[in-house]
Amino acid sequence: MSNRKAEVFIDGNKVMDLPILIDTMENEALDIRDLRKQTGMITYDPGFGNTGSCQSQITYLDGEKGILRYRGYPIEELIEKCDFIEVAYLLIHGHLPSKAERERYTQLLNRHSLLHVDMQSFFRRYPEHAHPMSILAAMSVSLSSFYEINVDEDPELEIDLTVTRLMSKIRTIAAFTYRKMRGSDFVNPRHEYSYCGNFLNMLFSSPVVPYEPNPVHIKALNKLLILHADHEQNCSTTAVRLVGSAGGGNLYSAVSAGICALWGPRHGGANQAVIDMLQQIHDDGGDVQKAVDRAKDKNDPYRLMGFGHRVYKTYDPRAKIGREICEEVLADLGIKDPLLEIAEKLEETALQDDYFKERFLYPNVDFYTGIIFRAMNIPTNMYTVLFSMGRLPGWIAHWLEWRHDPFERIGRPRQLYMGPTARSVPHIDERE
């Protein structure tokens, strides 16, 4: 809290002082918690672009400078010095694991990696064309039926167990979803593999040809999951916090809400939409200028997917890293993907165009990641499932932070009512 305040005048009369709060990075906020009580007024901020919903110690973004830090550590360093499990541990527990803590965590994740056999039968009941995100969301909330959270006993122990179960089982559910789509038998997790190696083995292991997870894919997947691990109060994390604020301690249902929010093409669903867009440009002869012109046309709902961001008004640091991983993986695998060339040409054309420059529209995390998944033979409708696997520790960290937030209340925004004033109900015979 700073001792500064903002004075509020309405029609020339002073009505109240608003305290000014200041955060670790010296960003300031008007504390409006007493606004309605003192003025009878609310604020109006559709999309919450100017509204802080909580105080958080998890992730820091600077949208103007393109900075992203998890618990103070820059994303660029975490990508180079840690694997996904270390970063998940950091987000959830607030510190990087020691060697012993990391070993213990790996054992716990292995112990809880299997899925109840009755849950496995659920997969077989979905139609072939079922989108994997619909299965993932349903399976996440179904975990609460098979792995009950008994907060009446030792709540913190129960929650810790649930967190570990979810971190491990989301990977198994994601892999089983893919196997179901392929009409293949499920492959259970194996303790000798790492988190990412295990996932790839559950995806691609075959009963008829030997399979070993490609180390290039394992390294790329670790980096991609780290890139997606958290992003402060984005749409899906806000959904997780909002559902959590209703109480009940059901982490599975809150994460299911996060999965549903992430699925949207404006949010995590964009990584699938980017590949569909690049493929369409490719099939249409590779005319990137035509795509840029359509994206600028107000009469055309077409947008450049993977471009623009609510917070970043410069290059998304994750897009920069994503492009480096993309070039690295394709070179390692000796793959020349025409969609990468189109993506780079599209980026170059858009970034020279005033429409994009004036609106600070740059590539975001989703612009290059799909091309990497493609090189790893992962189908496009699984991309947002992988985004969910990456974002899970972030969702969990925010849900846990909400649970211990001294200022937390049930989330319940207000509105400006623009409907009809009071009127009486006409008899049905008198209605047109």
Among 243, 304, 321, 375, binds ligand SDX (CB under 6 A): 304
Closest to 387 measured CA to CA, from 275, 204, 276, 262: 262
Among 295, 343, 346, 376, binds ligand SDX (CB under 6 A): 295
Q: How far is the CB of 370 from ligand SDX (least distance, A)?
A: 11
- Piece of the chain touching ligand SDX by CB under 6 A; list 105-113, 307-315, 323-331, 336-344: 307-315
Say if strands 13-22 and 5-10 run parallel, antiparallel, or are unpaired. Answer: antiparallel
CB contact burial 378-392 (16+ within 10 A = b; e otherwise): bebbbbbbbbbbbbb
Count other C-beta atoms under 10 Å from residue 253's C-beta.
18
Closest to 343 measured CA to CA, from 314, 374, 312: 374
Question: Between 203 and 270, whose beta carbon lies closer to ligand SDX?
Answer: 270
Closest to 258 measured CA to CA, from 140, 369, 422, 124: 140
Please report whether residue 303 would count as binding ligand SDX according to CB under 6 A.
Answer: yes
Question: Between 213 and 258, whose beta carbon lies closer to ligand SDX?
Answer: 258
Of 131, 228, 366, 398, which one is the catalytic site residue? Answer: 366
Please report whether residue 78 would count as binding ligand SDX according to CB under 6 A.
Answer: no
Of 93, 116, 267, 282, which one is the catalytic site residue? Answer: 267
Q: How far is the CB of 258 from ligand SDX (least distance, A)?
A: 10
Using an 8 Å Cβ cutoff, are 114 and 175 in contact?
A: no
Task: Tell me which residues in 346-375 interact with ligand SDX (CB under 6 A).
Answer: 359, 361, 364-366
* Token pair recorded at residue 314: 């410069």
d(CA 188, CA 175): 9
The single-letter DSSP state of residue 22 is E
Active site includes 282? no
- Piece of the chain touching ligand SDX by CB under 6 A; list 16-24, 122-130, 174-182, 309-317: 309-317
Question: Between 23 and 48, whose beta carbon lies closer to ligand SDX?
Answer: 48
Task: Tell me which residues in 35-64 interact with ligand SDX (CB under 6 A).
Answer: 47
Q: How far is the CB of 47 from ligand SDX (least distance, A)?
A: 6
Q: How far is the CB of 180 from ligand SDX (least distance, A)?
A: 27
* Token pair recorded at residue 242: 């909002």
Q: How far is the CB of 308 from ligand SDX (least distance, A)?
A: 2
Question: Between 360 and 377, whose beta carbon lies closer to ligand SDX?
Answer: 360
Please report whether residue 82 would count as binding ligand SDX according to CB under 6 A.
Answer: no
Q: Kindly report the CA angle at 364 between 359 and 367, in degrees rounded to 5?
A: 120
Please report whether residue 102 would count as binding ligand SDX according to CB under 6 A.
Answer: no
Among 102, 116, 267, 320, binds ligand SDX (CB under 6 A): 267
- Piece of the chain touching ligand SDX by CB under 6 A; list 23-31, 120-128, 151-159, 266-274: 266-274
d(CA 238, CA 254): 10
Q: What is the CA radius of gyration of the chain?
A: 24
Q: How far is the CB of 364 from ligand SDX (least distance, A)?
A: 4
Q: Dihedral, CA atoms, 338, 341, 342, 347, nearest 10 degrees?
A: 160
- Piece of the chain touching ligand SDX by CB under 6 A; list 125-133, 146-154, 158-166, 264-272: 264-272
The single-letter DSSP state of residue 180 is H
The single-letter DSSP state of residue 427 is P
Active site includes 267? yes
Question: Exposed/middle/buried for 344, CB within 10 Å: 0-12, 13-18, 19+?
Answer: middle
Residues contacting residue 239 through CB under 8 Å, at least 6 positions apart:
254, 257, 258, 260, 261
Please report whether residue 270 would count as binding ligand SDX according to CB under 6 A.
Answer: yes
Question: Between 244 and 268, whose beta carbon lies closer to ligand SDX?
Answer: 268
Of 309, 316, 337, 398, which one is the catalytic site residue? Answer: 309
Residue 51: left if φ>0, alpha if ψ -120 to 50, beta else—which one? beta
- Piece of the chain touching ligand SDX by CB under 6 A; list 204-212, 248-256, 261-269, 405-413: 261-269
Closest to 145 measured CA to CA, from 164, 167, 168, 122: 122
d(CA 428, CA 77): 68
Instruction: Report, as residue numbers or ranges, the catalytic residues.
Output: 267, 309, 366
Contacts with ligand SDX, residue ranges (CB under 6 A)? 47, 231, 234, 266-268, 270, 295, 303-311, 359, 361, 364-366
